Structure 1
């Protein structure tokens, strides 16, 4: 696997790799972008000493993490968003996927990468990409590029959204709805909304949880669209477990009591899987990627952000 600064000692390579894994698992301050960046440092600069094993491990870990994230979905809280919230969610999701797929054709982006970027923008960023990737059989390169695009735009939104909201004098409700629709990851939605106000935070969080549930039907539809020569659609088992986890966490008090602990483990698993995905990327693979996917993701995000803001601002 080509890298910029190969280390001559396999023992040193393995030591650095293991140290980074332990840092991800034991440090509570690392986020998804940092985990992916650490993996890219290994894959591109230092060399992945476990490359024959990490590709399969990252795929298994991704699925397990997605199942664990299901324990963080409270169906009662999702139901509180009401018909208006459901309408906003479905309309924006469908429109985002449609525009994203059209932009993919415009920028000649590979189909699976287009689908990942569109799903990440439409639903909940990295979590949606993680859930979608195994269903459409996306490779490590496609997953890493999609996640990288989403993480960059997330960081930008976290800082500029509250400023725009104050400048336009958006109400707490308006900002909460806008943040849930236009910001990718739940963590960034929470971060931006918390800076705007408590009511905005509550609205944004519940709407974002509602959007997370759309992972299930979208993954099923995507699996059907990307199926190869199979005559029957196979429902990904990890998606079934994701739904089961949310149901158990919502309706069984005993499960709900341990759900926060499971969610912590799942988030750590997601961070580790992102690290492994980054470690699987080679310099030669990155060189084969054009700038098209980034411009596609940026343009899609701007269209979603501006359009949803205009609609919410006008309706409000």
Structure 2
């Protein structure tokens, strides 16, 4: 019975492709197991997150920087650095746990659930911090999809302005594209290009997180999977991997993230 529940909910998580929903479905399975006294299932969710990060490296195209307007690169960079700096300062001021602060600022500054799921195994974040940060990002995205098109119309934004506005203030790529598509087709183009600039910041984020974790923890173990991630980035760009292959790798990466988050939700008490 436990296996049947596990398979049904895991397949649902993979189909929905939403980080927050994967977590919640895992928590639901844990609740059902406890209520029905089913036998527990033991799977290490962090292993799937690490595998997802490695596959993510194969999807990152450094050449894509050339498609981003020179006007947007400084804007995106200033935005990411400012959000992370302000977020860390606020986290310290209200005395949030360090790891929760890092997850929140990474998710809101870079690429939502993907950044959070990628960062979590490096800083060894607690499952409750992961659940809280992804839930908040999911909520912010849901609010943005509903309100932002009205905000764009109220301020009479051009297609380009709304696309950039959506890309900078909404966190998950799917939500960015979905919101921009409600405004205009041209907004989707501007939103996609600008969001790409934010997403590429995941590379320095993961490298920086590894260095930070080493300085903060004397018992630190270097996350060697980051080296494999970097190798995938380098090889994918050096050999100009076909776009279709990158699409498959992106799907595999997202699926691994969903499985990992599902299992972390399942372990959440």
State the TM-score, normalizing by the size of structure 2: 0.88
Does 1:206 find its partner at 2:193?
yes
Output the CA distance in 1 between the equivalents of 2:72 and 2:220: 34
| Aligned 1:222-237 pairs, distance under 5 A | 222-227=209-214, 228-230=216-218, 234=222, 236-237=223-224
Mark the runs of 5 or more structure 2 residues left unpaired by the alignment: none
Correspondence for 2:56 among 69, 72, 79: 69
Output the CA distance in 1 between the equivalents of 2:39 and 2:196: 38
Aligned to 1:19: 8
Correspondence for 2:159 among 172, 189, 193: 172
CA contact (8 A) 1:224 1:233 kept: no
Cα deviation for residue 230 of structure 1 reads 4.4
Cα deviation for residue 232 of structure 1 reads 9.2
Aligned to 2:260: 273
CA contact (8 A) 1:223 1:233 kept: no
Output the CA distance in 2 between the equivalents of 1:198 and 1:238: 39
Cα deviation for residue 20 of structure 1 reads 1.6
Residues 143 and 231 of structure 1: CA distance in aligned 2, closer, same or farther (over 3 Å):
closer
CA contact (8 A) 1:249 1:256 kept: no
Aligned to 1:31: 18
Output the CA distance in 2 between the equivalents of 1:68 and 1:197: 32
Does 1:119 find its partner at 2:67?
no
Aligned to 1:290: none
Residues 241 and 191 of structure 1: CA distance in aligned 2, closer, same or farther (over 3 Å):
farther
Output the CA distance in 2 between the equivalents of 1:92 and 1:233: 32
Cα deviation for residue 251 of structure 1 reads 5.0
Aligned to 1:258: 245
CA contact (8 A) 1:96 1:118 kept: yes
Partner SS, residue 73 of structure 1: coil
CA contact (8 A) 2:99 2:129 kept: yes
Residues 19 and 130 of structure 1: CA distance in aligned 2, closer, same or farther (over 3 Å):
same
CA contact (8 A) 1:126 1:150 kept: yes
Output the CA distance in 1 between the equivalents of 2:238 and 2:69: 20
Output the CA distance in 2 between the equivalents of 1:232 and 1:143: 20
Correspondence for 2:65 among 78, 83, 89: 78
Cα deviation for residue 199 of structure 1 reads 2.1
Residues 193 and 72 of structure 1: CA distance in aligned 2, closer, same or farther (over 3 Å):
farther
| Aligned 1:100-115 pairs, distance under 5 A | 100-115=87-102
Aligned to 2:226: 239
Output the CA distance in 2 between the equivalents of 1:150 and 1:72: 23
Output the CA distance in 2 between the equivalents of 1:45 and 1:169: 49
Aligned to 2:83: 96
Figure out how many residues of one structure are paired with residues of the other and give that number. 265
Residues 50 and 78 of structure 1: CA distance in aligned 2, closer, same or farther (over 3 Å):
farther
State the TM-score, normalizing by the size of structure 1: 0.76
CA contact (8 A) 1:113 1:142 kept: yes
